[in-house]
Structure 1
Amino acid sequence: MQSNILDFISQQYNTMTRSSKKLADYIFTNKSMVQYMSITSLAEASGVSEATITRFCRGLGLAGYNEFKLALARVDHTTVTGDPTDTGAAVTDGDSFENVCRKLYQTDVKAMSETLELMDTDSTAKAVDLLSGARRVFCFGQGGSNVMAMEAWARFSTASSQFLHIEDSHMQAMAAALCDEQDVILFFSYSGSTRDMLDVLRPAKNGGAKIILITHFSNSPAAALSDVILLCGSNESPLQSGSIAAKIGQMFIIDYLFYAYCLKNPERCAKAREATAQATARKLL
């Protein structure tokens, strides 16, 4: 396969099926946007099935859709840091350190603003009700999202002992298999489309557990299994995996969930926060 995926698609276009040509037409028209889309979002936008997209990618000699997005990101106008050059906050190798800091600040603030715009009060209230009524709340995620899951566990652990965190994906799957209707899974996944994620969410759902998903995409395999979906802002290209901006959007959700939880359970949380504060106070010099 050639290094420029768009050129390769052009060369193969006349031999493609009708549905593949329809997909290719959409990609050419929206090439800068497609790299930020989930496979479900692209299927809906282009009017083809997810299976068509998978076959399309494999026909190009790629392992799957994620590898296609990475190839598309490489030929898009990006900087050495993976930032798209069509945004004013893109960091370039010609920026001074002060300009880098200012651009990162703009990007991070934008992520919080977008997350605030995506906030749904009804979904938040339902999530808080599920958290408050749960016997156990497992904070799960994989890769960079596991860092967010750990952050949520650390935050909520100051107010309740019902929140638990397991780092290893195998142990997550085992815990999920033993979940029932009294348990809640608070799951972090920016894409909502990973195999390890499904290995956790499917058995948890089968056991009756409720699932709260924090993600960027409302249409994804994880979203289909979830009872509540909370959306974070910030577009993240394949070359920006693990971006701080995306994490800041998710941390904002953790923060407003935490305060909503405390407001719903004031006495219990106040007592727990006092006890945990005293426990850690003696460790400070």
Structure 2
Amino acid sequence: MEYKDVLDTMTGEYNNLTKSGRKAADYIFAHRVEAQYMSITALAEECGVAEATISRFCRTLGFSGYNDFKLALAKASGAPAADDEVGIYGKVLPEDSITDMCKKLYATNVAAIGQTLAQIDEENVGRAVKYLSAAQRVYCFGQGGSLVIAMEAWARFITAAPQFQCIEDSHMQAMAAALSTPDDVILFFSYSGATKDMLDVLRPARRRGAKIILVTHFAKSPAAAMANVTLLCGSKEGPLQSGSVAAKMGLLFIIDVLFNEYCRTNPALTEANREATAGAISAKLL
């Protein structure tokens, strides 16, 4: 199916949809921009239907699944697919000067951090740091662009705490989760909170009793349902913006919050470890 036809297809198939399917279509017609940024769980709740209904709705329209449908919606006429418009600057345009482009990107990234700050929950941060402090091992996991963030979390924490590890391969992540214990913590980064590889890791970790700290944009997602603590990042990211820097800014801010609170909670240990790691690196400097 051509992506540009999705709205016309919804109109043409409307009378053939089930009652629940028409509820989904009605909501999407009225909120097609917002729907681009929703997880399947969030959309189902807004429509007042089951997630399975959304999946059937997408297949009825000829799509392989929900993500394929969201991509089509983003590309459809009347559904903006450019970067978020932020403040007085708006989206980046071909005719912009480099200075104008820089101002717009700056505004977008600052807004992402501001949105993340507004969603910081002190109780959840405290619980997360409590789990991290008590853990025998902390696995920093993610996939795709989120793996880069997981590696950044590991790189930040390894300066102060030796129990932090990062495994890049998704198969190895699943195996580590399958052997995890109640003394372990999975620190998982996933903007959507709804990927198959992620669930392949979190399900065995949950069965083994490991604590799960999820950093995501969506409070209502399959991963959030399995997490012991969920920390929310700001910045809307559409299906055509996967891996956007603005979304990463929000995730990096949360890493910094967790790291600094971890150091405040364990001052003697982290100070000694940071001095040791700094000394090890100083010898490598010219």
Q: Distance in 2 between matches of 1:15 and 1:266?
A: 63
Q: Distance in 2 between matches of 1:153 and 1:185?
A: 12
Q: Counterpart of 1:229 in 2: which secondary structure? A: strand
- The answer to whether residue 143 in structure 2 is matched with residue 139 in structure 1 is no
- The answer to whether residue 21 in structure 2 is matched with residue 5 in structure 1 is no
Long gaps (5+) in structure 1: none
- The answer to whether residue 78 in structure 2 is matched with residue 83 in structure 1 is no
Aligned residue in 2 for 1:19: 20
Aligned residue in 1 for 2:277: 276
Q: Counterpart of 2:258 in 1: which secondary structure? A: helix
Aligned residue in 2 for 1:264: 265
| Shift, 1:96, TM fit | 1.1
Aligned residue in 2 for 1:32: 33
- The answer to whether residue 62 in structure 2 is matched with residue 61 in structure 1 is yes
1:159-170 equivalence runs, <5 A: 159-170=160-171
Q: Counterpart of 1:167 in 2: which secondary structure? A: coil
Q: Counterpart of 1:234 in 2: which secondary structure? A: coil
One-letter identity of the residue aligned with 2:107: Q
Q: Distance in 1 between matches of 2:265 and 2:188?
A: 21
Report if aligned partners of 1:78, 1:84 keep a CA contact under 8 Å in 2. Answer: no
Report if aligned partners of 2:86, 2:104 keep a CA contact under 8 Å in 1. Answer: no
| Shift, 1:17, TM fit | 1.0
Q: Counterpart of 2:95 in 1: which secondary structure? A: coil
Report if aligned partners of 2:84, 2:108 keep a CA contact under 8 Å in 1. Answer: no
Q: Distance in 1 between matches of 2:183 and 2:15?
A: 55
One-letter identity of the residue aligned with 1:161: P
Aligned residue in 2 for 1:114: 115
The 3 A distance-change label for structure 1 pair 85 and 157 is closer
Q: Counterpart of 1:109 in 2: which secondary structure? A: helix
Q: Distance in 2 between matches of 1:274 and 1:45?
A: 50
| Shift, 1:97, TM fit | 1.0
Q: Distance in 2 between matches of 1:84 and 1:108?
A: 10
Report if aligned partners of 1:77, 1:85 keep a CA contact under 8 Å in 2. Answer: no
The 3 A distance-change label for structure 1 pair 5 and 85 is farther
- TM-score (normalised: structure 2): 0.97
| Shift, 1:189, TM fit | 0.3
The 3 A distance-change label for structure 1 pair 90 and 193 is same
Long gaps (5+) in structure 2: none
The 3 A distance-change label for structure 1 pair 247 and 84 is closer
Give a deviation string over 1:214-237, Cα, whole Å, max 9, x none.
Answer: 000011110011000000000000
Report if aligned partners of 2:157, 2:259 keep a CA contact under 8 Å in 1. Answer: yes
Aligned residue in 1 for 2:102: 101
| Shift, 1:136, TM fit | 0.4
Aligned residue in 2 for 1:50: 51
Q: Distance in 2 between matches of 1:246 and 1:5?
A: 27
One-letter identity of the residue aligned with 2:59: R
Report if aligned partners of 1:57, 1:65 keep a CA contact under 8 Å in 2. Answer: yes
Q: Distance in 2 between matches of 1:187 and 1:259?
A: 18
- The answer to whether residue 42 in structure 2 is matched with residue 41 in structure 1 is yes
| Shift, 1:89, TM fit | 2.5
- The answer to whether residue 236 in structure 2 is matched with residue 235 in structure 1 is yes
Q: Distance in 2 between matches of 1:41 and 1:139?
A: 26
Aligned residue in 2 for 1:123: 124
Q: Distance in 2 between matches of 1:221 and 1:214?
A: 13
Q: Distance in 2 between matches of 1:111 and 1:162?
A: 30
Q: Counterpart of 1:192 in 2: which secondary structure? A: coil
Q: Distance in 2 between matches of 1:187 and 1:226?
A: 9
- The aligned length equals 283
Q: Distance in 2 between matches of 1:77 and 1:54?
A: 21
1:166-245 equivalence runs, <5 A: 166-245=167-246
- TM-score (normalised: structure 1): 0.97
One-letter identity of the residue aligned with 2:120: M
CA RMSD of aligned residues (A): 1.2
Report if aligned partners of 2:146, 2:189 keep a CA contact under 8 Å in 1. Answer: yes
| Shift, 1:78, TM fit | 3.4
One-letter identity of the residue aligned with 2:80: T
Give a deviation string over 1:35-80, Cα, whole Å, max 9, x none.
Answer: 000000001111111101000000111010001110000024436x
The 3 A distance-change label for structure 1 pair 85 and 216 is closer
One-letter identity of the residue aligned with 1:46: C
Q: Distance in 2 between matches of 1:152 and 1:50?
A: 32
